[in-house]
Amino acid sequence: MDAGIKRKIFLRSFLIQAGWNDQRMQNMGFAFAIYPALAALYKGRELCAGMKRHLGFFNTHPFMAGFALGLAARLEEQGALSGQPHDTARVEAIKSAVAPPLGAIGDRFFWAALRPASLSISLLALWALGLRHLTHPPEEMWRFQTSFGAGELLVGLAAGLAVYNGIAIWVRWKGISYGYQCGAGGSCGLDFVNWQGMIRKARLAGFCATVLLIAMKLIVFWRLKMPAALHGHDALAYLLAPPAMCAAFFTTRSGKHVAQVYGAVICICIIAFALAY
Amino acid sequence: MIGGIAAVSAAAAALELDSVQAGQFLFSRPSVAGAIFGIMGGDFLSGVQLGLCMELLTIDQVPVGGYVPPSGVVGAACAFALHRWAGFDSGYSFLLGFILAKLYPFVEIKMRQERSSWNARLESATETDASAAGGWVAKALAQQAALVFVFVFSGICLAVCAGGAAWLAMPAKIKPAFMTAYRVAPWLGLAALTAALLPRRGN
């Protein structure tokens, strides 16, 4: 596979999830992405038959699809060079074998570790640049964020995006060659890096950033805003926050969604305002 | 007002493509989307705050397998538009936006089911045209963008009418409850983020 074909597959792999459907999931995106490799090997009816081979069920994590695309390109190349009739069942079986473990690793690393960690990094950067309030503050507190502008905002958000996309694009690009080189015999992407270690590091970095952010928010609140906060409608928010945070922590930890706690907070607030104010 | 809502809906349609179908660069991250809506609407701080809160409350939901999580882009777009152009307070706008974000997956699931019927047609088209998949991919992107635009635009209009009527009918003394809950929301999100990232045994 030459560099031009690899580049085309890489660019097309950004559309691997286009046409996602319940029946065959990423099949349309996969066929679209593998097209440059097949077009270099076949012409006419053979090319059409080659494309049909890749319209079957396929599903993996989008950033890990590069490994499967590289592998499929290698299988097609081997088939074309052998001069034998294509073994469609073998291609299907190998794709089906590599996709689920790659998907499982991608979900755990990119969705469950790197994405929240990059949010923590963005939040920490935004805090460092001057964003003190994640909601609209009371009028008297506006002075704490008057220096915060669009430039700081973009830098803060870009910090998280740069970390996330740097790793994601690197895995996508390298994955194609790695999958191509491993062929059908290797573990194809599972040994690309120490995924387990990467997951652990991403989680730990995000966890530390979030804990630091919470600690700094609490310190600022304690030193500057405590007297003002205990008056008026805001008092309820500050009274509710600690138990609600505990509930949110344990709800998320048990696999349920934090939205449920937000719903409960709204109900409590409505009842409290109806009865007390 | 209508022009602003249409512009935000169009931006949401483009950004939502990034969340599943094209790229996954995280430009569809609600905080980024919220900042874009904020700049478009001339109130970027509200946009980023609503977006950040939306993201913190949806970060624990990941699109694993066929699961469709609430759309943070849809939520941020609706919340921002309701705050900026309908004049609802941030807390109430955020709640309505969050409800619409939770409703969006029902539409997305229907669309994915409907797209399954394309497979047979794509297969027969590929028998004569090897590059047919490209056309179907483009069609899928256009369909998704159109659907998100219609959902966000009509969702905002519906929320302005229904939410406005509910706001007027609501006793005045409970109206601040939404803003209070909104002030607690980032703390909930940070706690959820901590729980999601806390290393587990074996990880």
A199 touches chain B (CB under 8 A): yes
Residue A184 has pLDDT above 80, yes or no: no
What is the C-alpha separation between A181 and A45, in angstroms, rounded? 28
Q: What is the pLDDT of residues A135-150, one digit of tens each?
A: 554 433 333 344 556 7
Helix A27-41 crosses helix A3-12 at what angle (to 10 degrees)?
160
pLDDT tens across A62-105, in order? 999 989 899 888 888 888 787 777 777 778 888 888 888 888 89
- Give the pLDDT confidence score for residue A228 in this predicted structure: 60
3 state DSSP class of B129: coil
Cβ atoms of A21 and B112 within 8 Å: the answer is yes
Q: Is B93 on the interface with A (CB under 8 A)?
A: no
- Tokens matching residue A14: 């950004």
* B185–A262 CB contact, under 8 Å: yes
Set of chain B residues whose Cβ sits within 8 Å of the Cβ of A248: 187-189, 191-192, 195
Task: Yes or no: say if B190 and B184 are a contact pair by the CB < 8 Å rule.
Answer: no
Q: What DSSP line would sit under A136-159, residue for residue?
A: PPPGGGGGGGTT--HHHHHHHHHH
* Nearest CA distance, B150 vs chain A (angstrom): 19
Amino acid at A271: I
Q: Which of B48, B53, B85, B56 is closest to B164 using CA atoms?
A: B85
User: What are the two backbone dihedrals, phi and then psi, of residue A21, each rounded to the nearest 5 degrees?
Assistant: -140, 160
Over residues B13-39, mean pLDDT: 90
- Partners of A35 on chain B (C-beta within 8 Å) are 130-131, 133-134
What pLDDT does residue A8 have?
Answer: 92
SS3 (DSSP) at A25 = strand
Dihedral pair phi/psi, residue A135, rounded to 5°: -130, 175
Interface of A with B in 43-82 (CB under 8 A): 47-48, 50-52, 55, 59, 62-63
Asked whether residue B38 carries a pLDDT value surpassing 60, the answer given is: yes
Residue B70 and residue A57: Cα distance in Å, rounded?
A: 25
Q: What is the ipTM of this complex?
A: 0.88
Q: Is A227 on the interface with B (CB under 8 A)?
A: no
- A34: which 2 tokens? 């593998």
> Long-range contacts made by residues B31-35, C-beta under 8 angstroms, separation at least 24?
B31/A119, B31/A122, B31/A157, B31/B55, B32/A157, B32/A161, B33/B72, B33/B73, B33/B76, B33/B77, B34/B76, B34/B80, B35/A153, B35/A154, B35/A157
Q: Quick check: A37 pLDDT over 70?
A: yes
Least confident of A95-104, A217-226, B36-45, B109-118: A217-226
**The pLDDT value given to residue A144:** 39
Contact A234 B98 (CB under 8 A): no
Read off the pLDDT of each residue in B77-88 and give the average, rounded to a whole number.
92
> Quick one: pLDDT at residue A109?
92
Q: Are B25 and A233 in contact (CB < 8 Å)?
A: no
The closest of B179, B67, B157 to B112, measured between CA atoms, is B67
* Most confident range, picked from A153-167, B4-18, B59-73, B123-137: B4-18
Evaluate whether B13 touches B108 at the Cβ level (below 8 Å): no
Give the model's confidence band at A50: pLDDT under 50 very low, under 70 low, under 90 confident, else very high: confident
Judged by a CB distance cut-off of 8 A, whether residue B26 touches chain A is yes
**Span A216-242, pLDDT tens digits:** 877 776 666 655 656 666 677 778 888
